[in-house]
Amino acid sequence: MSMRTSLREWAKENKVWEPKTWRIFLEKDLVPFYKQAYTLNALHEFLKSEKICGKSSLADIEDETLKNKIRVAIYGGVEPNKDFSTSFAKFMYDNFGICAENAPSFEESIKHYESWGDGIKVSVNPNSWVNSILIGNLVDELKSLIQRFCDKLNIKLSEISIQESYPYHPFEVVEPDTLLPHAGEKPEELVSLINEFKQKALDLSIGVNPFMTFVFYTRTIPLLVLMEFLECDIDKVTKLANFLGLKAYSMIDQREVSLPTKSPDKVILIWEKGTSSRKYYYPSFFERLLELQSYLEKVDPTIKQAHENIIKEAINQIHVTFEPWKDYEPIFSFLSEILKDRNWISLNVENGRIAKLRSYYREIELPSKIWLRDFLIKISPIVSAGIVRFSYSMTQLEFHPLAKEWIDKVIENEGKA
């Protein structure tokens, strides 16, 4: 998805400022992904349970059907003197960590089973794919995000086929043991579940999913820029900001302002931060949406590379002019030098104008004081693309590793990129 053109058309066509539009995202994207994650986590927890790992040996598992299935999970598809890299046992070891005697490698697990047979103790090694993606945490995060959507849309979990109380299981529950094949049976249901889960993660990712892409694009954006992007009035943007949790701040004095406002050209929208207590941090609704991307990247590392590629493309596609260049040149020269070994700067603002730039012990005073508002509006395309982000406020900027390439290009072209 193009970050700007097709996203704009999609957002306008789907009236993204209407809360009911986001119910589509909830029901078509988040809920199916939650159901898949819930099922995978249930299987992982089942394999670690007292029924299996709590027994002193595989032979001690009372249920004969379950015993046979666990035997297949540990040794299925392995034949003497043959490559077992494509065996079902290897698949289970890599994805769920099930093995004999807590073996540090699949080969060791096989050796243990071949030596002791059903006398081995069943273990679940933590070095597995399902553990690396923090599947339990992902289920909790998705459940919390889904609940927040339901609260905002004034619907119940039961309306989207999820139980109202703990453990919040989907109405259509897949029993974990049914995913494990019998001897000689193909593990089609389990393989399909994992493949569909990975595909859904990709479908949900920034740059692919329009809802997630829109959330990323608008996480920090001048109000007037968003109004022009959507070609809508202040009331519609206010409705969108209230739903997503975008807070409005003055680009003159950096104070929070109420929406709607009569001065949209002086206001920037910034995603709402969470709240803290002595022991816990409670992420905001918007934070949970952004955090989902990091889980998706764990599910499939190619998702992260795809997002990086979007940022690389943005460097060549975004065109911004900084005029008069003599006023902006000191800012970009400072950035080019700072980004050799640092990744952030702080803007010192006086009466709405940028007076100084600072990064750690380095600091410069600008000969021409540029309006903060003008600067933030000019850099908004690179902020939306992910080249720059606001860390704590609109005066604290952090830069992506690829930002220096873009900054050097601006300098080379004397204010044009």
In a domain, 341, yes or no: yes
In a domain, 351, yes or no: yes
Per-residue pLDDT of the chain in tens (417 residues, 90 and over written 9)? 444 458 999 999 999 999 999 999 999 999 999 999 999 999 999 999 999 999 999 999 999 999 999 999 999 999 877 788 889 999 999 999 999 999 999 999 999 999 999 999 999 999 999 999 999 999 999 999 999 999 999 999 999 999 999 999 999 989 999 999 999 999 999 999 999 999 999 999 999 999 999 999 999 999 999 999 999 999 999 999 999 999 999 999 999 999 999 999 999 999 998 888 878 888 899 999 999 999 999 999 999 999 999 888 888 888 899 999 999 999 999 999 999 988 999 999 999 999 999 998 899 999 999 999 999 999 999 999 999 998 778 999 999 999 999 999 999 999 888
Counting the structural domains of the chain, the total is 1
In a domain, 173, yes or no: no
- CA dist 295 → 32, 204, 245, 268, 407 (Å): 16, 11, 21, 28, 30
Instruction: Report the mean per-residue pLDDT for the chain.
Output: 94
Give the total residue count for the chain.
417
Residues 6+ apart with CB under 8 A from 390: 220, 270, 383, 396, 397, 398
In a domain, 270, yes or no: no
- Kindly report each contact of residues 289-294 with a partner whose C-beta sits within 8 Å and lies 24 or more positions away, as own/partner: 289/145, 289/212, 289/215, 289/244, 290/215, 290/216, 290/219, 291/141, 292/141, 292/142, 292/145, 292/204, 292/212, 293/205, 293/206, 293/212, 293/216
Tell me the whole-structure pTM to 2 decimals. Answer: 0.92
In a domain, 390, yes or no: yes
Q: The domain containing residue 408 runs over which residues?
A: 318-412
CA distance 276 to 208: 32
For residues 372-392, b (16+ Cβ closer than 10 Å) or e, as one string? bbbbbbbbbbbbbbbbbbbee
In a domain, 151, yes or no: no
In a domain, 342, yes or no: yes
With a pLDDT cut of 70, the percent of the chain lying above it is 99
In a domain, 261, yes or no: no
